[in-house]
Amino acid sequence: MHKDIATPLRTQEILKKYGFSFKKSLGQNFLIDPNILRNIVSYADLTEDSVAIEVGPGIGALTEHLARSAGQVVSFEIDQRLLPVLEDTLSPYDNVKVVHSDILKANVAEELSSEFAKYKDIMVVANLPYYVTTPILLKLLMEKLPIRGMVVMMQKEVADRISANPGTKAYGSLSIAIQYYMKAEVVMTVPKTVFMPQPNVDSAVIRLTRHAEPPVHVIDEEFLFEVSRSSFAQRRKTILNNLQSQLPKGKEKKEKILEALAECGIDPTRRGETLSIIEFGQLADALYPTFRQ
């Protein structure tokens, strides 16, 4: 067994050896607690038949734990300065592929299909850069990649929003976009003290598991998300007011919006945060002929 990368001492040795300095713009915070990494990997239920997709491997702290559990690891790293570091720290593992690329621009499906067709199980496991957590999650979900699920670390506040239930302050269009595809649960909270450098906020690990079927079937997924985003545009406003002000020519189509709300049995004075994902689905379908046809 090789010495873990993720100890304060070893991390400092590696950073010193390469003269590495953290870039605030890339949201670099490296984990220095091997127990937390082991826990993260255990939530992913990886086997030799699994591919783990990682975003932002840093110096390879989580990557090496993934390499010990999965058949293959594909890590996307945007920071060129880390490539020689990773080549060094991950040299004991022959089942890791580091892709020098911005995950938001990468063709993830291509990376997976060409090399990893033989693996039946794909999981995303990552300590996500905080400043782009949401775009990364949405990209991986919207691209319809054959992912079983994700175990990802992020800012605790974002994790709370993703896993929130209707009627709570954290619930919003992000909760709906993610929960449409995946069941979301916060599995652990992580104190800022186990990172180098320490971030200003606490973190949480969220486990997302793909639904066999979406919770509601809709005519147009994009339109469902547009309706939910519109409904939360101003949280204090009623659903009727938000839809009127946000949907194209909404004010002229007030009667149609009222008809759609009535058809779904939704009181127009309710606020967006009280609607379940099923109600949003029904509402999107009822509004669809007016706004999309």
DSSP state of 81: G
Q: How far apart are CA 69 and CA 48, in angstroms?
A: 7
Residue 84's pLDDT is: 94
Confidence of residue 223 (pLDDT cuts 50, 70, 90): very high
pLDDT digits (tens, 9 = 90+) for 15-47: 899 888 877 666 678 898 999 999 999 999 999
pLDDT digits (tens, 9 = 90+) for 61-109: 999 999 999 999 999 999 898 999 999 999 999 999 999 999 999 999 8
Residue 145's pLDDT is: 86
- Is residue 149 marked as binding? no
- Is residue 56 marked as binding? yes
pLDDT digits (tens, 9 = 90+) for 119-135: 889 999 999 988 899 99
β-pairing verdict for 182-190 and 203-210: antiparallel
Task: Give the total residue count for the chain.
Answer: 293
Residue 25's pLDDT is: 64
pLDDT digits (tens, 9 = 90+) for 266-288: 999 999 999 999 999 999 999 99
- Is residue 137 marked as binding? no
Confidence of residue 261 (pLDDT cuts 50, 70, 90): very high
Residue 111's pLDDT is: 81
Q: Count CA atoms closer than 13 A to 173's CA, side-chain side.
A: 17
Q: Are 95 and 71 in contact (CB under 8 A)?
A: yes
- Is residue 29 marked as binding? yes
pLDDT digits (tens, 9 = 90+) for 144-197: 888 999 999 999 999 999 999 999 999 999 999 999 999 999 999 999 999 988
Report how far apart, in Å, the C-alpha atoms of 193 and of each of 30, 118, 246, 272 are: 11, 40, 42, 37
Q: How far apart are CA 285 and CA 219, in angstroms?
A: 6
Helix (H, G, I), strand (E, B) or coil at 187: strand
Structure tokens at 20: 């590495």
pLDDT digits (tens, 9 = 90+) for 200-217: 889 999 999 999 999 999
Residue 199's pLDDT is: 86
- Is residue 77 marked as binding? yes
Instruction: Tell whether the model's pLDDT for residue 3 goes beyond 90.
Output: no
- Domains of the chain, CATH where assigned: 8-210 (3.40.50.150), 221-292 (1.10.8.100)
Residues 6+ apart with CB under 8 A from 193: none
Residue 221's pLDDT is: 95
